Each structure stands twice: as structure tokens, then as C-alpha cells.
Amino acid sequence: MANLTIRNLKKVFEGIEIIKGIDLDIKDHEFVVFVGPSGCGKSTLLRLIAGLEEVTSGHIHLDDKEITDMAPAKRDLAMVFQTYALYPHMSVKKNMSFALDLAGVAKSEVESKVSEAARILELDHLLERKPKALSGGQRQRVAIGRAIVRQPKIFLFDEPLSNLDAALRVQMRLELARLHQELNATMIYVTHDQVEAMTLADKVVVLNGGNIEQVGSPLELYRHPVNQFVAGFIGTPKMAFLNAQVKASDAASVTVALDSGPVYTLPLDGRTVKVGDVVTFGVRPEHIQVADAGVSEFSVKLDVTEHLGADTYCYVKAPNGETLTVRASGDYMGRYGQEVSLVPELAHCHLFDAEGRAIPKPGAPAQAA
Amino acid sequence: MLSLKQTRHLRTVLIGSLAWLVALAIFFPIFWMLLTSFKTEIDAFTSPPQLFFAPTLENYIHIDERSDYFHYAWNSVVVSFGSTFIGMLLAVPAAYSMAFFETKRTKNTLLWMLSTKMLPPVGVLVPIYLLFKDFGLLDTKLGLVIIYTLINLPIMVWMVYTYFKEIPKDILEAARLDGATPGQEIYRVLLPIAKGGLASTILLSLILSWNEAFWSLNLTASGAAPLTALVASYSSPEGLFWAKLSAVSTLACAPILIFGWLSQKQLVRGLSFGAVK
């Protein structure tokens, strides 16, 4: 069992509130990812859970046990650091068995646990080496192995892949996902990379400025971001935001006029906005089609196009100077400066009010931020 | 015109010669001291100085008759090793807390500690002499150990602090999560990683204590006098005996020179710890 409960957790450092009262529940076997821009408090939150930082106020419970002020070692958590933090003077084997040796576990048991972890991580042939004789990916695996042998209740990962090169990062990401399945463990993972968050997580926690913006499955965050921050943070390339004004609204639809010209009616619950309100219209690159000039009322000028093979990203400029990104098919050929028109899929577009809150879909329960 | 290769070659030769020149200039006094120690007093005074002469051991025999070399050498060993041991015992925890639990005042504390080295020792000679007298520490090895520990401690803390600073905090945090107590964290993780730096700190402290003369001359008479005091006793008011003085100086320098030579690899590695990685 490993259910982590965090209640009204605050951290103040030198007079600055870094974590501003966080409530969060993490269930057994869940893979939870903390994601957010740098300085959002995600690493601090992880270190508070680990016990490496002192909690200013609030409570952390692991199952029925309060661990808020407990020493790190007693919490039954293991952490994998961004810098791997291997003991440079110990062999791979010693690195992995250190915790067990300290705990006074019997030699034969240490031996079997280390070789089991080495087998899972394919480190068998490296056990006698020192960390400096290993590659970045191997070091990372040793750091994970060091966590595995302890069979902790929760694994904590602090940006574990950010020191690896791009190709290795993808490979280790897959290995981590597989490891989560194999060990059936509870994992908390911190990253600034929303792709890692989307691909690994059962549950994503989006943090910003010491607050939780939204908690949900990757697809929930993608489809129903509760505010403009989450909408802009999740998804690549980013969602485009265009200024607009409400022209009409009721419980099932909102009609807005974009500053760049076109008027759209979206299937949203418009009871929270009124005519004349300034809103933001959000649309993802994959939810717009490029068409020849004059096909729709939304006419724009092509800026640069990027050919990625399968897809083509077109950067376009609206008449009022707003820019947005559009994903077109791989064989789309547009000329720089060409006049085209855009056709957004209105069912997948979003509206945000002046405070950045999402205007909900009809019938959807109002989501708390 | 010289080709690029020739220019490079010439530069290597020039830098090499310069290094040799500097090394010889540093070594020359030691060489001359060694040479003089095997001369008769007459030869030692001859002008111009002679490079070739009939060597004699009479100075060493004279020293052996007049004073108990091993008494002084033993005192030197006890006070330098004693003060280094106690100094490390204090410097390691101090540097540990400053390097890994840094506060806003840490930098100032370090600077303040170092600033005590800027005070001329003679300025505090009288108060320290009186304190030593009251506590019965005059002419005792314990007294010298205390004063050497105190004068070397700022440098030791600084050095150990610098080496500890190079060790990523994450490694200690990993040990903490692995269940290490603060003692195990220091003893099983921190010290083994920093051993190169610690060794050079120990070496430096030994050398500084061994060579210290001001306090040993003023605070000891004969009982606890180390080798530096023995050397001083040979510059007597009856006149200068260059050969004997050279012989006793050679005897005083020899142990630490041999010790330094044996550990020079460690010393160089430790002193260039941060530079080459």
C-alpha cells in the first residue's frame, strides 16, 4: 500500500512562499507526474515529500502514518536524482547495496536483491565498475537500481532524464514506463518536459507559481484544460490564443467575434459570460485546416512553413498581427507570403474568460482549479 | 622565418628552461646549506665560496655531542601530528556544516576566520604568553599543540570547505535517503570522496606546524622545544658558526623534506583539485 495524502502544504524560504498550500492525493500504483515551468515549485514539492526540505506548514501522510517531520530515511521512499548522485567511490554493486548494508540486511538477501535489480536493468556485467566508467544512460540505470533494491513504497524521480541526450531520453522514457508496469510501484516524477508528462503519467499535476493549476489524466488535460495556463502548457506546438469578444451566449453555445475578423459559434456553456465580454479563443495547431484563400472568412498570410516529413507546421499571421501555428499534412506546400484561409474545428476550440478560466462544455461539471 | 612547428618547439624549450631556472633558484639555498654542512668552519667562511672541498662530518658529530637531536625531533613530530589531528577533527565538521548547510552568514564567517591570519602574531604574543603562563602551558607540548591548532585551523577549514564544495549536495542527500545517519554520511560517503583534498590539507598543516618558529621560540625553553628552536639555539652570541648552523638546519629540514617528497604526488593532486577535473 502506498497512498500519499498532502494537505494544505506550504513552504516558505527566506520570506518567499514557494509552495502556497497544496492539496493532493496520490493513490497506490499510480504514476504521477509533476510538471510546470522552471520555478513553479515542482522540485520543491518533491523534496518536501522526500523529507529533504523542511515543511513550513501543512501535513503529509503516507497511508495512515504522518511523515511531515520524519527523517528522510524513515519515510520508506527512494529518490532518483537529476545528477544521478551515485557514490563515486563505490562500485555499481556497492552503490546499489549501500542502503541495505546500512539497514543491516543479511548478506545473502542483499546479494539476491542486487542481482535481481541488476537483471531488470541489464546491469549484470557492470556490477564491479565504478560510476565514472559508465555512460550517462548506465549511470541513470544504476541510480534507478539503487532505488529498486530498497523496495520503497514510493519512487521519487527528480527530472531523471534531463541530463541525457535526446535519443537516450526517449529510450529511458520507455524503460521507465515498462519498469512502472513490471514493479507495479507508485511513482512520482518531476519534469519540465510536457512530452514526458503526457507519455508517462497516469495522473499529471500541473504546477505554476507554487499552486496546482490542474490535476488529471494526460488526455483530460489535453481536452479539457481548466485554464489558459494549462491549455498553453500541454500540447506541442502550443495552442494559439486569439483575442475575441462575446456576441451572443446561452447554455449551449457562445458566439464570438475574433479581433482578426471571423465570427464563430462554439458549443460551450455560455452562462458565465455576457455579450461584450473580452475573451480568448484558443485553438490547437491540429484542430485547424489550411484552405485556399477565400474558402473561409478567416483569411491569413503564410509566414514560414516547417516540413517535418509526416506533418508540416505552418506559421501564419492574421490581418491584425496575431500569429498562430497550424498543422497541415506532410505534402502541403505553401509559399512564404501566400494568402490562405483557415477552418478551425469548432468542437475542439476553447474559450477563456478575462481571468483565463476555461468556459466549460455544456453539461460538464464545473472543474475547480 | 620559423615554421609553425619550429616556433612551437622553440616555445617548449624556452618554457622548459624557465621552469628549470625557477626550480634551481628555489633549490639553490637548500643545496648550499647541505654543502656548507659538510665543510669545516674555515671553508665555510672562505671567500669566494668553494664548490669543491674536502668534506667532513665534524659538524654533525659536534651537534650530536652538544644536543639531543632526537629529543627535539620527537617534539616536532608530536606537536605537528597532534595539532594536525585535532585541527582536522575540528575542521571537517566545521567545513561540512558550512559547505552543505550554508546560511547567509557563512561567507562572512569564513572570511572572518581567515582574517585572523592577517593579524601579526607578535601583536598577541604578550597576552598569549601570559595566558600560557597562568595555565602552566609554557614549555609544554600540549601548549604548542593548542597554539598550532589555532593558527592553522582557519586555513584547514578553508581548504576542507573548498574540497567539500566540489562535492554535489545530491550525493549526500542520496545517502540521507538511503538511511545514513549524519555520522555515516560523513564517514562513509563524504570523507572517502574528499580523501584527496583531505590528504593535502593534512600535509599542508604538518608542513606549516613543522616549520613554525615564532611561537615555538617564544613559548618553549628546552623541554618541549621542537627542531626550529634547536636551529635557533645555534645562532649563538659567541659568533656565527655557518657550518654547524647549516648542519643543524639540514637535520631539521630533512624529515619534512623527505616526507614531502614521498607525498608530492598526493600534494600536487590535492592542490590542483578544482583546477583539473
- B272 pLDDT more than 70: no
DSSP percent split of chain A into helix, strand, coil, nearest 5? 30, 35, 40
3-class SS at A311?
strand
A99 to B179: CB separation less than 8 angstroms, yes or no: yes
CB contacts under 8 A, B 79-98 vs A, are none
CA distance B58 to chain A (A): 53
Q: Residues of A with CB below 8 A from B179's CB?
A: 73, 99, 102-103
pLDDT score at A307:
92
Tell whether pTM > 0.90.
Answer: no
- B273 pLDDT more than 60: no
pLDDT band at B274, cuts 50/70/90? very low
pLDDT score at B269:
65
* Cell numbers that stand for A223 in this block: 481536452
Domain B68-233 annotated CATH 1.10.1040.10: no
Cα distance between residue A361 and residue B1, in whole Å: 83
> C-alpha angle B111/B117/B122, rounded to 5°?
150
Determine the residue of chain A that is closest to B180 in CA distance: A102
CB-closest option in A50, A51, A89 to B193: A89
- B277 pLDDT more than 60: no
Domains and CATH numbers, chain A: 4-231 (3.40.50.300), 237-352 (2.40.50.140)
B179 to A82: CB separation less than 8 angstroms, yes or no: no
Cα distance between residue A326 and residue A285, in whole Å: 4
CB-closest option in A52, A71, A85 to B171: A85
CA distance B174 to chain A (A): 7
pLDDT score at A87:
93
- B102 pLDDT more than 80: yes
pLDDT score at A122:
87
pLDDT band at B147, cuts 50/70/90? very high
Best of A48, A52, A162, A188 to disrupt the B interface (most B CBs within 10 Å) is A52
- Decide if A254 contacts A246 (C-beta within 8 A): yes
pLDDT score at A115:
92
Determine the residue of chain B that is closest to A97 in CA distance: B178
Cα distance between residue A50 and residue A44, in whole Å: 10
Q: What are phi and psi of B202, to 5 degrees?
A: -60, -45
Cα distance between residue A78 and residue A59, in whole Å: 20
pLDDT score at A368:
43
pLDDT band at B276, cuts 50/70/90? very low
**How many A×B Cβ pairs under 8 Å?**
55
CB-closest option in A79, A83, A102 to B180: A102
Cα-based distances in Å from B30 to A119, A318, B21, B86, B253? 61, 84, 15, 31, 9
pLDDT score at B1:
66
pLDDT band at B23, cuts 50/70/90? very high
B193 to A87: CB separation less than 8 angstroms, yes or no: yes
pLDDT band at B197, cuts 50/70/90? confident
pLDDT score at A98:
94
pLDDT score at B131:
94
pLDDT score at A289:
92
- B262 pLDDT more than 90: no
pLDDT in tens, B233-255: 887 666 678 888 899 999 998 88
CA distance B83 to chain A (A): 29
Determine the residue of chain B that is closest to A13 in CA distance: B103
A89 to B173: CB separation less than 8 angstroms, yes or no: no
- Decide if B138 contacts B132 (C-beta within 8 A): yes
pLDDT band at B275, cuts 50/70/90? very low
Residues of chain B with CATH 1.10.3720.10: 68-233
DSSP percent split of chain B into helix, strand, coil, nearest 5? 75, 0, 25
Low-confidence residues in chain A, pLDDT < 70 = 364-369
Determine the residue of chain A that is closest to B183 in CA distance: A102
By percentage, how much of chain B surpasses pLDDT 90? 48
Mean pLDDT along residues B67-94 = 94
Among the listed residues B92, B55, B49, B77, the one whose alpha carbon sits nearest the alpha carbon of residue B148: B77
